[in-house]
Structure 1
Amino acid sequence: MTKILIVEDDPMVAELNSRLIQTMEGFSKPIVIGDAKEALTYLEKNPVDMILLDIYLPGMNGLELLSRIRELHYPVDVLVVSAARDSHSIQTALRAGAVDYLIKPFDFDRLRQALQAYAHRSRLIREHESLTQKDLDVGILPKETAEPEGNQALPKGLDRYTLALITQCLREIPEPFTTEELSRKVGLSRVSIRKYLEFFCEIGQLTKEVAYGGVGRPVFRYRKQP
């Protein structure tokens, strides 16, 4: 299970982020701390996999905390979630090794995507002693490198970050699968997943079949093209 520490001084924001994480498969209930110095004390004896870090904190701010974490060589990844949108803060966080940067207010699907992508990257690195360039392009560097086969342009409303994440999940999910099953695996809503499934069908990477069962609407099942 992926262990997350939320460092956020706004109780409502912290609670919303915590509830979202608890709905995601593979993540344990987050620890919430509202103060940077208290977070450092916690990390001394309690290792975590990732920190969801705000920048505007009382006393020591989030960037100072991130710098201190690196000085102490704590083996933890950091995802910045902050209203700070100035280029200095963003550049400082990224140079200090933040794996992603979300500007408040943000779409919760974007946070889901970031966390799910992080979980996939972590598992890929953990389970393989060595990696190929393709492993890196698809599993670790999806935002910059992921492309549909044939460099086909994405329809409006789809993005390459999510496309790469879903592509990775498609390699792992048993066939045939439903929108609901893929939605649970990826951690995105069925509405969002359905748009990407239709795109994969349009470009010939998936086939769709209708399954009629009991009372209710027919269920669509998907298979990967050989």
Structure 2
Amino acid sequence: MIRVLIVEDDPMVAEINRRYLTSVPGFGCSGIASNVTEALEFLRNNSVDLVMLDIFMPGKNGLQLLTEIRKEGKSVDVIVISAANDIQNIKQALRLGAVDYLIKPFTFERLKTALQTYQKEQEMIQEQNEWNQEELDKLLLHPDQTRSTSAKLPKGLTRETLQRVVKSIDTLKSGFTTEELARDIGISRVSARKYLKFLTEIGCLSVEPVYGTGGRPVYRYDVKQGHTVRIAPYLET
């Protein structure tokens, strides 16, 4: 669960933002602060992953709060949600490390996209300690910048069948076998084994041999956290 602090001086707007936030799976509202002082106090006494931050507030503004957060070295990310649409405020927020910037009034879909993008990035970060350039580009660059270099499938695999496989494993979830996957989507075990091998190699699945009384192992597959991020480039058209 990603813990979020909402910093917004308008109680009605804060409540709308809370409802939007909590409607997105994987996010929870840890608290609401109406000014910089309250926000700093909350951050010093509670564990927070993400701040949804307004800029215009009585007293110190949101950018001053963001500056204080960076000075204190707090490990917290920030999405700015503000009516401030001038380039100076936008550039300053980005320079201070805001991961996204939404201009009021915004749509729920835009906020949902911001949250889900952040969620996927966190899943990728938590999964591994070392990165290659391709993986880092997927994390840092805008999707439009990486789409032209989307990954190609190995010879013999098709995007259409891969889509069916991914849909099936999302349903099977964990502990499934090659035979179960093949039966679920109506392909041969040989074909199913090729797709499972590929998904295991790119880190979407883990595999473990289970030994029965017959002596030969049955291989069972489990879906790894963040698999949707890893498979996405191979499903793009």
TM-score normalised by L of structure 2: 0.62
Distance 2:30 2:105 in 1: 20
CA offsets 1:179-207 (integer angstroms, 9 cap, x no match): xxxxxxxxxxxxxxxxxxxxxxxxxxxxx
> Which amino acid counterpart does residue 58 of structure 1 have in structure 2?
P
Q: Does 1:175 align with 2:149?
A: no
Aligned residue pairs, count: 161
What's the offset of the Cα at 1:132? 2.1
Secondary structure in structure 2 of the residue aligned to 1:3: strand
> In terms of Rg, which structure is larger?
2
CA offsets 1:77-123 (integer angstroms, 9 cap, x no match): 01100000111111111111111111001111111111111111111
Secondary structure in structure 2 of the residue aligned to 1:25: coil
Q: Does 1:108 align with 2:108?
A: yes
Distance 1:12 1:30 in 2: 17
CA offsets 1:1-58 (integer angstroms, 9 cap, x no match): 1000000011121111111111111112341111111100111111201100000011
- How many percent identity over aligned positions? 44
> Which amino acid counterpart does residue 14 of structure 1 have in structure 2?
A
Unpaired runs of at least 5, structure 2: 151-161, 171-234
Match of 2:231 in 1: none
Match of 2:79 in 1: 79
What's the offset of the Cα at 1:147? 1.5
Match of 1:91 in 2: 91
Distance 1:105 1:30 in 2: 23
What's the offset of the Cα at 1:149? 6.3
- Going from structure 1 to structure 2, the CA distance change for 1:101 and 1:148 (only over 3 Å counts) comes to same
- Going from structure 1 to structure 2, the CA distance change for 1:88 and 1:146 (only over 3 Å counts) comes to same
Q: Does 1:121 align with 2:121?
A: yes
Distance 1:177 1:18 in 2: 33
Pairing 1:3-22 to 2, within 5 Å after superposition: 3-22=3-22
TM-score normalised by L of structure 1: 0.65
Match of 1:61 in 2: 61
Distance 2:129 2:54 in 1: 33
8 Å Cα contact 1:21-1:30 kept in structure 2: no
Unpaired runs of at least 5, structure 1: 151-169, 179-223
Match of 1:50 in 2: 50
8 Å Cα contact 2:30-2:48 kept in structure 1: no
Secondary structure in structure 2 of the residue aligned to 1:98: coil
Match of 1:132 in 2: 132
Match of 1:27 in 2: 27
> Which amino acid counterpart does residue 77 of structure 1 have in structure 2?
D
8 Å Cα contact 1:2-1:28 kept in structure 2: yes
8 Å Cα contact 2:5-2:52 kept in structure 1: yes
- Going from structure 1 to structure 2, the CA distance change for 1:32 and 1:96 (only over 3 Å counts) comes to same
